[in-house]
Amino acid sequence: MAEVAAAAAQDAGGVPEQLLGDYLPLLADAAVTGRRPKRAELDAVGQLGRQAAEQGISAGRVVQLYLSSARRLWHDLPNVVRSQDSEVVRAAAAAVLHVVDDAVATLAEGYATARRDLVRREETLRRELIDDLLRGDSDLGSLVERAEPFGLDLARVHQVALASPSRRLPDAGAAISALEAVVFDRLGDRDVLVATKEGLLVVLAPAEATDTAAAGRTTPVGRDSGLGQLMHDELNRLRHGRPWRVAVGRPHPGLYGIARSYEEAREALTMARRLRTDKTVITAHDLLVYRVLLRDLPAIVDLISAVLTPLAQARGGAEPLLETLDAYFATGGVATEAAKRLHVSVRTVTYRLHRIRTLTGYDAGDPAHRFTLQAAVLGAKILNWPTEALPSSG
């Protein structure tokens, strides 16, 4: 039996023969006496399957170990194999096959259970790690140690991208697997983490990586690289969750740079919702002007109050006039294009612009007034005015 075990282990590519446990004696017993294995004996085989999974041995190699050892042992049972009584041989073969069937099924079940436990454990560790990385206030030494098994080098420059589904997050496992496949193919599996947080998909990626499709050339994975577009295109192939919106934070170095990039991406998603933009991929770089506006909140509140609150006196309230200004500025001050965007007549646009000039004293067509009006309109969109009351400027 020792020779059979050693040869079978070699057949399976060097799998430890200790993973056979008492499997060979069970086979020999079945061949000689026809005895079926007891529950406790099969449970021991299942435990060996768990050990194989925990040691990182592939399921195929473990099964090969068991099948190869059964084949070799059968040939080494001369009293059975060389019997002249075909019924004896048939009964012995059936008993052995029953043991092989039960043992391999139990082995595979134990292996699968252990793999599920390992995946759950890894998923928990990954979620806890990414939560601490995005928070940015954890112990650096501890994070470096916990990040190492995931291939993360916290000294590098990283960026964070967030993907938001149109409704609730669909099957998170399928979405993570899809993202991992495409991002790992693009960037490699080191320095990349994909997880979920607060109903969003989170991708932590290096700011520079080798594009495997670019023949070894190094390309930046920033706002010009299309990381956000790469994620968006892949997620939109899924059956659920469409349309997705992806926000990408700017690259920053070090541990605290990860938290900063995450906050930028999260802020970009919030601003995109408030601005009601049609863009499906937003970068924090594109929204820097809005961050500048919000940096001095009392000043932007005063600007809106001074410039735009008179619009509330108009019939229908301020919203139609604000939408007209927004469309007018977005189309470069062309009334015909603004009318198309608003689905109204050009006459309606020009009337509203005249009404705005009458109520506020600011002319959207005057370059000297344009900047003031546009800054006030952007501020109103960010603060969701007039739907929400303006915060106190004090």
Residue 193: phi and psi, rounded to 5, are -130, 135
Architecture of domain 296-382: Orthogonal Bundle (1.10)
pLDDT in tens, 2-28: 888 999 899 988 999 999 999 999 998
Largest CA distance in the chain: 113
Under DSSP, the state recorded for 275 is H
Within 8 A by CB and 6+ apart from 376, the residues are 303, 304, 307, 308
Delimit the CATH 1.10.10.2840 region(s) of the chain.
Answer: 296-382
Highest mean pLDDT among 54-68, 160-174, 210-224: 54-68
What the block records as the tokens of 378 is 């952007």
Residue 394: pLDDT band (50, 70, 90) is low
51-60: list long-range contacts, CB under 8 Å, 24+ apart. Answer: 51/19, 51/114, 52/15, 52/19, 52/107, 52/111, 52/114, 53/110, 53/111, 53/112, 53/114, 53/115, 53/118, 54/114, 54/118, 55/16, 57/15, 57/19, 59/108, 59/111, 59/112
Reference 100, options 20, 157, 162; nearest CA is 20
d(CA 264, CA 260): 6
C-alpha Rg value of the chain to the nearest Å: 33
pLDDT in tens, 103-148: 999 999 999 988 888 777 877 888 888 888 888 777 777 888 888 8
The answer, yes or no, to whether residue 64 has pLDDT greater than 70, is yes
329, exposed or middle or buried, with CB in 10 Å at 0-12, 13-18, 19+?
A: middle
pTM reported for the whole predicted model: 0.60
Q: What pLDDT shows up at residue 187?
A: 75
pLDDT in tens, 238-258: 877 678 899 999 999 988 899
Highest mean pLDDT among 24-38, 75-89, 278-292: 24-38
The answer, yes or no, to whether residue 223 has pLDDT greater than 70, is no
Residue 5 and residue 24 in contact, taking contact as beta carbons nearer than 8 Å: yes
Residue 81: pLDDT band (50, 70, 90) is low
Q: What pLDDT shows up at residue 79?
A: 59
User: Considering only the top CATH level, what class is 149-285?
Assistant: alpha beta
Q: Mean pLDDT score of the chain, rounded to an integer?
A: 85
Q: What pLDDT shows up at residue 170?
A: 64
Residue 258 and residue 136 in contact, taking contact as beta carbons nearer than 8 Å: yes
What SS3 class is residue 195? Answer: strand
> Which segment of 83-92, 121-130, 307-316, 336-345 scores lowest on mean pLDDT?
83-92
> Which segment of 209-213, 333-337, 354-358 scores lowest on mean pLDDT?
209-213
Highest mean pLDDT among 147-156, 183-192, 311-320: 311-320
pLDDT in tens, 273-330: 877 788 889 998 888 877 777 778 888 899 999 999 999 999 889 999 999 999 999 9
Delimit the CATH 3.30.70.2730 region(s) of the chain.
Answer: 149-285
